[in-house]
């Protein structure tokens, strides 16, 4: 079996004010990117609720 050779995946973290309750990792749908206004708002909301939210691009978007 062969596996794809992927580079590191860079993401954008939305950190809560205090210690995170956990981590949520989100990505975009087909044709989107991590810069989607909706994805940014969702990650901001997770952070406001105490979670570390990370958004990233899928490999085909790099």
Q: What is the pLDDT of residues 28-60, one digit of tens each?
A: 988 889 999 999 999 999 999 999 999 999 877
Given CA atoms 38, 16, 53, 62 in this order, what sign does their dihedral have?
Answer: positive
Q: How confident is the model at residue 4 (pLDDT cuts 50, 70, 90)?
A: low
**Phi first, then psi: what are they for 59, rounded to 5°?**
-55, -35
Mean pLDDT to the nearest integer, 1-14: 75
Read off the pLDDT of residues 14-28 as tens digits, 9 standing for 90 and up: 999 999 999 999 999
| Tokens read off for 54 | 């990370």
Per-residue confidence band for 13, with pLDDT thresholds at 50, 70 and 90: very high
């Amino acid at each position: 079996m062969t596996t794809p050779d992927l580079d590191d995946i860079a993401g954008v973290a939305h950190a809560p004010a205090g210690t995170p309750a956990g981590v949520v990792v989100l990505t975009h749908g087909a044709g989107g990117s991590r810069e989607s206004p909706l994805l940014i708002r969702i990650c901001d909301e997770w952070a406001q609720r105490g979670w570390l939210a990370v958004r990233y691009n899928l490999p085909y978007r790099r």
